Amino acid sequence: MGTRGERLFANDQLNPGDPNGTTGTRRINPLLGPVTVRDNSGDSIYHALDLKLDRRFSNGFLVRGAYTYSKLIDDASEVFTTTGTTSFPADLALGKRGIDRGLSAYNHTHIASLTYIYDIPRLKNENALLKGVGYITNGWQTSGTYEYQTGAPNTVNDGIDANGDQQGNDRPNLSNPNAPIATYAVDFGLFGGTPGTLCDGPSIFHAKGCVVVPASSVHFIIPASGIGTLGRNSVVDPGQQNTTFGLQRSFNLYSEKHQLAFRMEMLNPFNHPNTGSPNYNLVGIPIPKPGVTTTFANYPLTESGSRTIRFRLRYSF
C-alpha cells in the first residue's frame, strides 16, 4: 500500500534575516519583520507492507495481530509548529525546500500489535474435589494487548542562528560517527578566527576559549557558515512498547439476567519504561566535569511509564 502527497501545507519565511546584510541580522526587507506564510510547497510519499492475522473467537480463544513495515518521506511534517526547528526549510530561499527531503517526523518503520482473549477451560469432572476446585477456577477469562513501534526521527541542530538568517534551524556536519554523540567542534571561522581550525564546542561557547581538537574526536562539526550537511530527521529515537493484561470472571446471580463481573486490569504489567525525545541542540552541551550531566541525546532522562493496576466490579441486569 502507499500514498503520494503533493502541494501539502508547509511553512515558509518570506522575509528571513539576510546573513550578507550590513548588520548581519538585517532582513531582506528591513521595513518588515518576519513574514511567515503557510503555502502549498510540501511533498510526501509513503510505502508500506501491511500484514494481518485474525482468528475469530472459537473454542474460547481469539487472537488478532497486525504488522506494518513502512517508510514515510516528506520535506515538511508539521505546519502548525511555526517555532520548530524543522518547520521551515534549512535554506530559506524560496524553491529550496527539496534539500530537506528525508524521513518524516511521523515515520515509524516497524509497527506491530497483538490482541488476544482466552477463556480458561472449565473443569467438568464430578469428583467432589475437582468440583470444589471448579467453583474457584471456572468462568475466568484472560485478555491482553501488545504494541511495539520503532522510534520517530529527530533533527540535530546547532542550537544557534549561526548563519544569521534569524531562523534557528541550522545544522552541523557529521564528523566521526563512532565518536561519542554528545561531542562537537566549531569551525573557528564562525567567530572570525582561522577557518578550518576546529575548536571544542562546549569550551568555546561556555568557557569562551578555543581548545583545538581533531575532527576524528567529535561526532559533529558546526561549520563557519552554520549550515552543515547533516540531513533533516537523521537521528532515530528508540522504539516504544506498551503491554496490557486483563483477568475477569462473571457470576450469575439468581438467573442469567443478573450478573456480577469482576475484572482486574494491568497497564504495563512488566513495568517497562519508554523513552521520549531528548534535547538535540549542540550548544546546550556543557563542559564535561563531575556532577554535570548533559541532556543532549540522553534518553534515560526522558524515561516515563510505570505499572498500573485497576480493579472493576460491574453489576448487569
Give the residue from 209, 225, 241 where a domain finishes.
225
pLDDT over 70 at 102, yes or no = yes
Burial (CB count <10 Å: 0-12, 13-18, 19+), residue 87: buried
Residues 140 and 16 placed together within one structural domain of the fold: yes
Judge whether 130 lies within some domain: yes
Domain count, the chain: 2
Residues 88 and 37 placed together within one structural domain of the fold: yes
Cα 111 to chain centroid, rounded = 13
The pLDDT confidence band at residue 125, using thresholds 50, 70 and 90, is: low
pLDDT over 70 at 90, yes or no = no
- Mean pLDDT, residues 166-188 taken together: 91
Is the backbone of residue 191 left (phi > 0), alpha (psi -120 to 50) or beta?
alpha
> Cα dist. 1→47, 48, 72 in Å?
6, 5, 12
pLDDT over 80 at 130, yes or no = no
The pLDDT confidence band at residue 96, using thresholds 50, 70 and 90, is: low
Residues 66 and 209 placed together within one structural domain of the fold: no
Judge whether 168 lies within some domain: no
More confident residue, 131 or 33: 33
* β-pair partners for 54: 64
Contact call for residues 170 and 220 (beta carbons, < 8 A)? no
Residues 54 and 186 placed together within one structural domain of the fold: no
Beta-carbon count within 10 A of 68 CB = 17
The pLDDT confidence band at residue 22, using thresholds 50, 70 and 90, is: low
Contact call for residues 186 and 159 (beta carbons, < 8 A)? no
More confident residue, 293 or 3: 3
Residues 130 and 242 placed together within one structural domain of the fold: yes
Burial (CB count <10 Å: 0-12, 13-18, 19+), residue 103: buried
Residues 52 and 125 placed together within one structural domain of the fold: yes
Q: How many angstroms separate the CA atoms of 54 and 65, rounded?
A: 6
- Mean pLDDT, residues 210-235 taken together: 91
More confident residue, 10 or 48: 48
Residues 193 and 76 placed together within one structural domain of the fold: no
Domain that holds residue 207: 173-225
Residues 55 and 151 placed together within one structural domain of the fold: yes
CA proximity to 9, closest of 79, 63, 84: 79
Judge whether 21 lies within some domain: yes
- Mean pLDDT, residues 59-68 taken together: 95
Task: Give pLDDT, residue 13.
Answer: 79
Judge whether 47 lies within some domain: yes
The pLDDT confidence band at residue 196, using thresholds 50, 70 and 90, is: very high
Residues 157 and 283 placed together within one structural domain of the fold: yes
**Residue 54 is placed in which grid cell?**
485474525
Residues 193 and 294 placed together within one structural domain of the fold: no
Residues 97 and 202 placed together within one structural domain of the fold: no
Task: Give pLDDT, residue 100.
Answer: 82
The pLDDT confidence band at residue 128, using thresholds 50, 70 and 90, is: low
Residues 50 and 98 placed together within one structural domain of the fold: yes
Judge whether 166 lies within some domain: no
Q: How many angstroms separate the CA atoms of 247 and 6, rounded?
A: 48
Three-class HEC string of the chain: CEEEEEEEEEEEECCCECCCCCCCCCECCCCCCCCEEEEEEEEEEEEEEEEEEEEEEECCEEEEEEEEEEEEEECCCCCCCCCCCCCCCCCCCCCCHHHHCEECCCCCCEEEEEEEEEECCCCCCCCHHHHHHHHHHCCEEEEEEEEEECCCEECCECCCCCCCCCCCCCCCEECCCCCCCCCEEEEHHHHCCCCCCEEEHHHHHHHCCCCECCHHHCCEEECCCCCCCCCCCCEECCCEEEEEEEEEEEEEECEEEEEEEEEEEEECCCCCCECCCCECEHHHCCCCCCCCCCCECCHHHHCECCCEEEEEEEEEC
Task: Give pLDDT, residue 63.
Answer: 97
Judge whether 193 lies within some domain: yes
Task: Give pLDDT, residue 229.
Answer: 87
Task: Give pLDDT, residue 156.
Answer: 92
The pLDDT confidence band at residue 137, using thresholds 50, 70 and 90, is: confident
What percent of the chain shows pLDDT beyond 90? 53
pLDDT over 70 at 82, yes or no = no
The pLDDT confidence band at residue 126, using thresholds 50, 70 and 90, is: low
